[in-house]
Amino acid sequence: MNKSIDDYSINRNTSLNQILVNMAHSGGFEGRHLASGIGILKKMMSEKNCTRFLSFVGALVSTGNRGIIRDMIKNKMFDCVITTCGALDHDIAKSFSSYYEGDFRLDDQFLLKKDIHRLGNILIPNENYGPLIEAKVQPILQELYDNAKSKTRSLELAPSEMLRYIGSRLNESSFLYWAAKNDIPVMVPGIVDGAVGNQMWLFNQSHKEFRIDILKDQTILSELIFDAKMTGAFMMGGGLSKHHTLWWNQYRGGLDYAVYITTASEWDGSLSGAPVAEAISWGKVTTQAKQVTIHADVSTVLPFIYYSLLSK
């Protein structure tokens, strides 16, 4: 008990960065965890020998936070991305169309009749999603297939290899585009669980020798992990993307830096609800790691976190 909680002192001249810095001393509960998480991320970013992982759930890409994800990858703040197929779907769809504001309490039967999908309080016209993704992805896969075949290359590709090629054919609003441009691998262990994965399956129906080799990505991850002197992760949301990040880091003794944001509760034993500290018992986070779990909505706190990282 050597540190007192200071009261906030905010006036019209107080900058946002001052508030975020003061949160470490004035914030209580999750406010202090947020400040701690920002501090850990800043330390992780400044560590030259740290291999940095970014994981996030697909739904986040349906929001305006897609722009922050894109810019973090554009600015090479991370060395590897681990996400879900939904993130690919939204990234491609939003590269060529728009999503719209909605409400959590809209009538879903009415939306169905209007051919509109609802993702929380975001509205996605059907024509801006499935049909658009098919129209964009199929020609890209055909081009990738023709190029590989003409150069007698293997037609069994890792998901990350396919995504690098797809990203190279998108525009600068896309996080996949910048991942491809900056040679940052995008790992999607559940690649078939979404529209893009479905398009890969559909293409395979008429090109049987064109296949996904998911084990190739595991080899790429193993090389990243075993070559790393230190590792750190910024995990936005739980599920498969969080677990895969933790899973591979156990093979080097665990993460040295770990910041996790979740709204899930730990009392049901779910992976999404499990705080980072629990991963220490599995050897997925080191005992000496700088780590914190922030219980918050990612879409609310990510803009403040990114702002603080930029102002370091």
42 belongs to the catalytic site: no
Return d(Cα 145, Cα 162) in angstroms, integer. 10
* Sign of the alpha-carbon torsion through 42, 43, 47, 51: negative
Q: Can you list the positions of beta strands (E) in 89-212?
A: 100-101, 116-119, 122-125, 156-157, 186-187, 211-212
Q: How far is CA 273 from the centre of its chain?
A: 17
145, with CB counted inside 10 A (0-12, 13-18, 19+), is middle
Structure tokens belonging to residue 172: 């600068």
**Beta strands 230-236; 255-262: pairing state:** parallel
In degrees to the nearest 10, what's the CA dihedral of 229, 233, 238, 240?
A: -40
Catalytic residue among 94, 136, 242, 284, which?
284
Give catalytic residue positions: 284
